[in-house]
Amino acid sequence: MEIGRVIGVYGRNIVKISVPDHLLPEVARPGVYVKMAGADGSTTLYGMIVGFNMLDELYRRARIIEELEGYEEFRPARNEMTVHITGYLSGQTVSKGVPILPKPGEKVYLVSKEELQSIFDKGDVSIGVLSSCPNVEIKIDVNGMCTRHTAVLAMTGAGKSNTVAVLIASLLKHFKNPRIIIVDTHSEYIPLARISNNVRVLAPKGKVTDLIKAQYQVDPIPLEVPLWILGVEEIYNILGLDPRATKQRLYLRQALKTLRVERYREKGYDLTADDPIHFTLEELKIAVINAGGSGRTRDRSAEDLCLKIEDLSEERELYFMTRAEYLEDKFSDYAKKTDEVKASFQVYGDFARSLLDPGLNIIALGGLSSEVQASIVSALLRALWRIAVEQRFRGERVATLVVLEEAHIYAPVGWSPSKQIVEKIAKEGRKFGVSLLVVSQRPRELSQTLLAQCGNLIALRTVNPSDQEHILRSMEDVTRDTVESLPGLQTGEALVSGPMLPLPALVKIFSFKEVFHEELGGKDIDYREAWSTEYMTEIVIPSPPEQTTLVETNKQKSLLDFNN
């Protein structure tokens, strides 16, 4: 159906078209797809409407209005629309790019439903429907998504978590053996465990696990991340040693060097202070004191650092790091058969491999501080990266998708212990089979290096101008007109672009609740309902935790048991 004419061409991919009044109901919506011939007459160009400029010419001149006041049927109007040319027809295949531009005066046509279906029906899993044509399902190409990384960006309440849940649930449903890890910063994706038997939830023992059991009726597998697995920067972060604490950072680094490097040098090992070599907290405190001198020359900073280590060991919610009994027992068993270095790496290998079994592993970190979360994620990703690199050297790839919820915590504009490994995976992960799906409600706080490596974008409503500018500067396949249209998106509506789709599209994402009949965590409280019912008869005072619920016996099942 012809809808108008090209009236101007700007730059390499922006076209202005004119549309008559009676056709406005067909096209006056963002995301509508149109097509036109290129200047050579043989190339078909596809474009998406991204902007509008509709004027009533009579009201520009008061005198004309007076002279033509009696002619109601005579109402000259100028309806201009901005079209972003996104691709072209090459043979029978739609390709991205703009090989040639149209000429002014060229006829513009609406792309039919059947043609849209043929374009967007070539992917693997459906995530929604085309906003401008709800009869057309949008299927994403999984290879295109995973080989070029993906960013899901939105303001709070725009449908970000729903989008991720729909995508992951669809992957679980479509593929027999996917490898997916979700870093669940707020423990809101736990309901995914109720829609598939191929999902494991890992959570630290204590309040995090108790909350998951109470809220979702899901029994998590105990997550253990021993302190000795962490690198130097990660331990700095756990202990709260900022860059100004130069002496304490120096003493801790020297202590770790003593425990991980010097005491094994004579045995022929060439180790670093970041290698995952086993030590106890008592050994760490002794090494710190020795690093701070002895007798009258002992530095008070070393003693203060020991107190911080002692406080760390007594913090109940961190027992999964300081009292990782299951992995300690594994280490003891291995150490009886080999030396401590090899035993350490065997435990470390078990720890890393346990995350790579086919299916979905949800790392539930809700309730932990952002400092602890960043250190844990850094350790997990470094372990995963070691495995991925080793597999590549053997001619294999792990083919793993890592979902980073609240990615601005793990790869911020500033410093974080996990930032380096996240950016490394972003830059090199494609070669080793590790893909990232980064999710953030604060794009302006997210590393530009990370965003620049994301070839795919799923952008929901984003209002903050700083967020819009950050997206525009960081991502290639985005224009200013596109970014400026983000505030007008409805809840659950997203601009999807990149190799995951043949052409960029404005998509209405499916509702996770309606499709999979489960409610995600983290939804807003209904204050009207809460304030209209007597839902709480008394305020419950938390009971003191019993030791048996905090220090689990080594008989309790661990993730490694579930995998064997």
Q: What is the dihedral of CA 498, 501, 502, 504, to 10 degrees?
A: -60
Tell if the pTM clears 0.75, that is, is over it. Answer: yes
Residue 549 confidence (pLDDT) above 60: no
Instruction: Count the neighbouring beta carbons within 10 Å of the beta carbon of residue 548.
Output: 8
Residue 297 confidence (pLDDT) above 90: no
Residue 57 confidence (pLDDT) above 80: no
Residue 128 confidence (pLDDT) above 80: yes
Q: What integer pLDDT is reported at residue 553 of this predicted model?
A: 42
CA 371 to each of CA 237, 240, 417: distance values in angstroms, whole numbers, following the listed order: 6, 8, 9
In CATH terms, 2-111 corresponds, of 3.40.50, 1.10.287, 2.30.110, 2.30.42, to 2.30.110
Residue 535 confidence (pLDDT) above 70: no
Confidence band, pLDDT 50/70/90 cuts, at residue 532: confident
Q: What integer pLDDT is reported at residue 541 of this predicted model?
A: 65
Residue 205 confidence (pLDDT) above 60: yes
- Among residues of the chain, what percentage have pLDDT more than 70? 90
Residue 561 confidence (pLDDT) above 80: no
Instruction: Outline where DSSP puts E strands in 339-447.
Output: 359-364, 400-404, 434-440
DSSP-assigned beta bridge partners for residue 379: none
Confidence band, pLDDT 50/70/90 cuts, at residue 554: very low
Instruction: Count the neighbouring beta carbons within 10 Å of the beta carbon of residue 176.
Output: 8
Q: 243-277, pLDDT tens digit by residue?
A: 889 999 999 999 999 999 999 999 999 999 999 99
Residue 7 confidence (pLDDT) above 50: yes
Non-local (6+) Cβ contacts of 49 within 8 A are 27, 29, 30, 31, 32, 33, 34, 81, 82, 83
Residue 559 confidence (pLDDT) above 70: no
Cα(437)–Cα(402) distance, integer angstroms: 6
User: What is the residue-averaged pLDDT of the chain?
Assistant: 90
Residue 540 confidence (pLDDT) above 90: no
Q: What integer pLDDT is reported at residue 536 of this predicted model?
A: 58
Q: Which range among 99-113, 304-318, 525-539 shows the weakest confidence by mean pLDDT?
A: 525-539
411 near 446, Cβ under 8 Å?
A: yes
DSSP-assigned beta bridge partners for residue 109: 2, 35
Mean of pLDDT values over 406-414: 97
Q: 375-391, pLDDT tens digit by residue?
A: 999 999 999 999 999 99
Mean of pLDDT values over 507-515: 97
Cα(39)–Cα(49) distance, integer angstroms: 20
Residue 287 confidence (pLDDT) above 80: yes
φ and ψ of 208, to 5 deg: -60, -50
Residue 471 confidence (pLDDT) above 90: no
Q: 411-465, pLDDT tens digit by residue?
A: 999 999 999 999 999 999 999 999 999 999 999 999 999 999 999 999 999 999 9
Q: What integer pLDDT is reported at residue 455 of this predicted model?
A: 94
The strand pair at 125-130 and 400-404 is best described as: unpaired
Residue 410 confidence (pLDDT) above 70: yes
Confidence band, pLDDT 50/70/90 cuts, at residue 237: very high
Q: What integer pLDDT is reported at residue 548 of this predicted model?
A: 47
Confidence band, pLDDT 50/70/90 cuts, at residue 290: very high
Q: What integer pLDDT is reported at residue 531 of this predicted model?
A: 81
Q: What integer pLDDT is reported at residue 478 of this predicted model?
A: 74
DSSP-assigned beta bridge partners for residue 520: none
The strand pair at 400-404 and 434-440 is best described as: parallel
Q: Which range among 243-247, 443-447, 482-486, 494-498 shows the weakest confidence by mean pLDDT?
A: 482-486
Instruction: Count the neighbouring beta carbons within 10 Å of the beta carbon of residue 225.
Output: 24
470 near 197, Cβ under 8 Å?
A: no
Residue 408 class from Cβ within 10 Å (0-12 exposed, 13-18 middle, 19+ buried)?
A: buried
Q: What integer pLDDT is reported at residue 319 of this predicted model?
A: 96
Q: What integer pLDDT is reported at residue 538 of this predicted model?
A: 64
Domains 2-111 and 137-229+315-550 belong to one CATH topology: no
Mean of pLDDT values over 534-555: 55
Q: What secondary structure letter does DSSP report for 446?
A: B
Q: 337-396, pLDDT tens digit by residue?
A: 999 999 999 999 999 988 888 999 999 999 999 999 999 999 999 999 999 999 988 888
The domain limits of the chain are 2-111, 137-229+315-550
Confidence band, pLDDT 50/70/90 cuts, at residue 58: low
Cα(343)–Cα(353) distance, integer angstroms: 15
Q: What integer pLDDT is reported at residue 525 of this predicted model?
A: 78
At the topology level, CATH places domain 137-229+315-550 in Rossmann fold (3.40.50)
Q: What integer pLDDT is reported at residue 550 of this predicted model?
A: 42
Residue 213 confidence (pLDDT) above 60: yes
